[in-house]
């Protein structure tokens, strides 16, 4: 599931500049846009790509979500992965948020820092290196790119604020996962506070560019209670008999592709979610063409993938 290198030399070359941009946690540089090709920033690489935003797609094709950014081609949950998804022409990116020891939201998947940073070298005496045990300033010191490839050396773990700035600059949309909410009391309120602070809870963002999801049903309920206007998703595969209770507080049922069938998708679609619209199904994590075509045949509304280009080719 975690690709360690880019699949092509061109992809690696295109990301060299992106990796260099991300060395500082205060990076707010805005690069030029090539509106004749993508309409979006190419992060200073000089590589031009034709955007899927303007390409013909099959009617009814599933929406493609770049999982942790285009994480097959750049280190997951970093700004480099966001920029790579943008360069490939994808609007929707998925990320994970957690809270630091001093209450700052950072974008990282694992509850530990070991797999995707050099925390063992920087803080050798701080095992087990849990995100919750480090301050934001300490996490900002870590290299979150070298594990993936040398061209990403020095890439940082972004804060949610930095992440929102980047996807706003790229005109992208966000599928935000609240990670391990049981570990972080109050994370829902803090997530909504930061989203509001950065302008992501205005009508346009809420209606068109934001979904908040979690594996924790209680967490999804809290988001729905605090901001009933926000679209929410539950990560998992509830029993068909239980779906009506989930429909009371969520708009999406987002299961693993290994757990679904056409009948299950139909059962979800038969219900209306919290906003009175048909419950949607976004399935994860599909990284090959055959599986993408299979789940598209089930009628899913979206596919979450590390390889968005592969899924787009197979389904759109």
The residues carrying an active-site annotation are 67, 109
Q: How far is CA 306 from the centre of its chain?
A: 10
User: Based on the number of CB atoms within 10 Å of its own CB, is 227 exposed (0-12), middle (13-18) or buried (19 or more)?
Assistant: buried
- Can you point out the beta strands (E) in the chain? 63-67, 92-99, 105-107, 173-178, 210-214, 231-235, 252-254, 280-283, 302-305
Q: First CA to last CA across the chain, in angstroms?
A: 22
Beta bridge partner(s), residue 233: 213, 252
What phi and psi values does residue 256 have, to the nearest 5 degrees?
-65, 145
Largest Cα span, the chain: 55
Tokens 């063409």, residue located: 289
| Helical residues (DSSP H) of 116-216, grouped into ranges | 119-122, 136-139, 160-169, 187-197, 203-208
Contact between 95 and 77 (Cβ < 8 Å): yes
Contact between 83 and 92 (Cβ < 8 Å): no
Token readout for 142 is 């870590």
DSSP state at residue 76:
T
Q: How far is CA 220 from the centre of its chain?
A: 17
| Helical residues (DSSP H) of 9-78, grouped into ranges | 9-21
d(CA 207, CA 61) in angstroms, rounded, equals 20
Contact between 82 and 68 (Cβ < 8 Å): no
What phi and psi values does residue 173 have, to the nearest 5 degrees?
-120, 160
């Amino acid at each position: 599931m975690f690709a360690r290198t880019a699949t092509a030399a061109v992809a690696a070359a295109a990301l060299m500049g992106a990796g260099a941009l991300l060395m500082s946690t205060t990076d707010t540089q805005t690069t030029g846009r090539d509106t004749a090709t993508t309409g979006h920033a190419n992060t200073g690489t000089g590589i031009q790509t034709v955007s899927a935003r303007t390409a013909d797609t099959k009617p009814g094709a599933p929406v493609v979500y770049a999982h942790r950014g285009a994480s097959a081609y750049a280190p997951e949950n970093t700004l480099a992965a966001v920029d790579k998804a943008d360069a490939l022409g994808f609007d929707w990116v998925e990320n994970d948020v957690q809270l630091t020891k001093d209450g700052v939201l950072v974008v990282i998947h694992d509850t530990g820092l070991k797999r995707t940073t050099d925390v063992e070298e920087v803080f050798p005496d701080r095992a087990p290196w849990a995100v919750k045990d480090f301050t934001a300033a300490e996490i900002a010191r870590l290299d979150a790119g070298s594990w993936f490839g040398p061209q990403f050396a020095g890439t940082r773990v972004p804060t949610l604020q930095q992440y929102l700035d980047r996807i706003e600059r790229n005109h992208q949309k966000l599928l935000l996962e609240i990670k391990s909410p049981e570990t972080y009391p109050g994370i829902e309120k803090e997530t909504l506070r930061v989203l509001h602070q950065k302008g992501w809870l205005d009508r346009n963002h809420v209606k068109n560019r934001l979904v908040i999801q979690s594996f924790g049903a209680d967490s999804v309920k809290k988001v729905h209670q605090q901001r009933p206007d926000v679209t929410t998703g539950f990560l998992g595969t509830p029993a068909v008999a239980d779906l009506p209770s989930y429909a009371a507080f969520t708009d999406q049922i987002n299961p693993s592709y290994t757990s679904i069938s056409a009948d299950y998708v139909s059962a979800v679609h038969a219900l209306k979610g919290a906003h009175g619209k048909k419950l949607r199904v976004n399935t994860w994590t599909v990284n090959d063409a055959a599986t993408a075509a299979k789940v598209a045949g089930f009628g899913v509304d979206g596919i979450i993938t590390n390889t968005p280009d592969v899924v787009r080719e197979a389904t759109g």
